[in-house]
Amino acid sequence: MPQTCLTHLECSLCSKIFEAGRTWNLCECGGPLLVRYDLARLKAEWPRESLSSAANSMWRYGPALPVRDRTSIVSLGEGMTPLLPARRTGARIGAHNLLIKDEGLNPTGSFKARGLSCAISMCVELGVKILAIPSAGNAASALSAYAAAASLEAHIFMPADVPQANFIECKAYGAHVTLVDGLISDCGRIVGENCKKHGWFDISTLKEPYRIEGKKTMGYEVAEQLNWTLPDAILYPAGGGVGMIGMWKAFAEMEALGWISSKRPKMIAVQSTGCQPIVRAFEEGEDASRFWDGASTVAAGLRVPKPLGDRLTLKAVRESSGCAIAVPDRDLMDAGIRLASEEGIFAAPEGAACVAAAERLLREGFLKPDDQIVIYNTGSGLKYLEAYSVRFPRTAAGQTDKLGGLITPR
C-alpha cells in the first residue's frame, strides 16, 4: 500500500492554500480547511483491488488519509461497520431496499471514533500534547479514549445535561471534564477562550482539518460494501454535519481515482424540529444557517444551534438534489423503538430520526419504494438510556414485564 499522497490544505471558503505538516485551525476568513491529495498519483499507485488484503478498519484507506508516518496512527479498531438490511422496517415504511449503516459498533459507540482516530493520529505526528473539545457527548467520549491511547491530555467541555454514559466514559478515560450550564455553542466559546489562554489545541468540529478525514471513510466504506456503486439516497443526522461533508468529499475523491462513477445519492440532512438550523436555511434558499434560538431535543447530537459546516452541508444537499428534513422528538423516539424491535438494532436518537424521516419522505413521494436507501445510525442507543427510559419506566419495587405488569421480588 502506498503512503499518503497529502499535498496541502485548502480553505473551503476562499480557497487559500495552507502548507501540510503544520497545525492549523480555521482560515483567516473563518473557513474550515480541507485536506487535499495528489489523486492522479494515487490513481496510478493504489488500485481498489489492493483493498482485498488491507486492514479491517478505516485505515485500509490510509493512502487517502493524511498520516505520513504510520507509526503515528492511533487506532482502536474503528471503521468497517456493517451495512445491514432492514427488511421488516422497510416493509412497514414502504422501502424495498432499506439498509442501515450501524456506526454504533465503533469504539466508544459512535461514528465520532473515526474522526478522532484520524485527528489524534495527526496530533501525535505533529507533536500536539494538550487538546480541548466542546461536545454534546459522543465526540468527548471518543477524544477521551483516543487521547488516553496516545498518552495525550484532553480537556472536555460538555453541557450539564449530557448523557450520563458520556460523562462517565470521559472521566474513566482520565480526561479533564467541565460541565457547562448551556448548549454546545456555549461550550465552544469557553474552549476557544481557554485555548488562547493556556495554549491548548482546539480540536472542535471543523476547527481543525483532520476529523473530517476520518469521517469521510464512511463514504469509502459504503461504496466498497455496495460493490463500488452508491445508493439512491443517504439519510444522515446532521448536527454538525461533518459526516455528510466528509462523505461528499469521499465520493469526489473516489471518482477521481476511477473507483466509482459520477452517480451520486440524494444526500438528506435530518434534524429535530427542536433544533433545525440546516432545514430552515435549506427551505429559505440560504447558503448558511442562522443561530437556532431555544435549541431543545432528546437527540443530543442534533442540538447544535449554529453548525460551523453549514455551508458545506447545504452544498452537498443541493448538489445531490437531496433535501433537509426535521422530525419531532416523539416521532424519532418511536422510530428508534420500532427499529430495535423489528431489526435488533438499538439506534441512537439521531439515527432513529433518519428512520422517521425516511418514512415521511416515502409517504410524500420524495423517495420511491424501489430506491436503495441507506440510513446512517451514528451511535448506539446504549449511550442514551436516559432518553429511552421515559418510554420504559420501572419502579424501585420491581420492574415492568413485557405486558406492562409489575413483577415483585419474593
pLDDT, tens digit only, all 410 positions of the chain = 678 889 999 999 999 999 998 999 999 999 999 999 999 999 999 999 999 999 999 999 999 999 999 999 999 999 999 999 999 999 999 999 999 999 999 999 999 999 999 999 999 999 999 999 998 889 999 999 999 999 999 999 999 988 889 999 999 999 999 999 988 889 999 999 999 999 999 999 889 999 999 999 999 999 999 999 999 999 999 998 999 999 999 999 999 999 999 999 999 999 999 999 999 999 999 999 999 999 999 998 999 999 999 999 999 999 999 999 999 999 999 999 999 999 999 999 999 999 999 999 999 999 999 999 999 999 999 999 999 998 888 765 555 555 555 555 55
**pTM for this predicted structure:** 0.92
> For strand 233-237 and strand 372-377, is the pairing parallel, antiparallel, or unpaired?
parallel
d(CA 59, CA 255): 19
Q: What is the pLDDT of residues 102-154, one digit of tens each?
A: 999 999 999 999 999 999 999 999 999 999 999 888 999 999 999 999 999 99
Which three cell numbers mark 320?
A: 445531490
User: What integer pLDDT is reported at residue 154 of this predicted model?
Assistant: 96
pLDDT for the residue numbered 162: 86
Farthest-apart Cα atoms in the chain, separation: 72
Which H/E stretch holds residue 270? Answer: strand 266-272
Q: What is the pLDDT of residue 205?
A: 85
Domains, in order of start, for the chain: 83-108+212-389 (3.40.50.1100)
According to DSSP, the β-strands at 201-202 and 323-327 are: unpaired
- CA distances 341 to 278, 344, 378, Å, are 31, 6, 18
Output DSSP code: residue 257: H
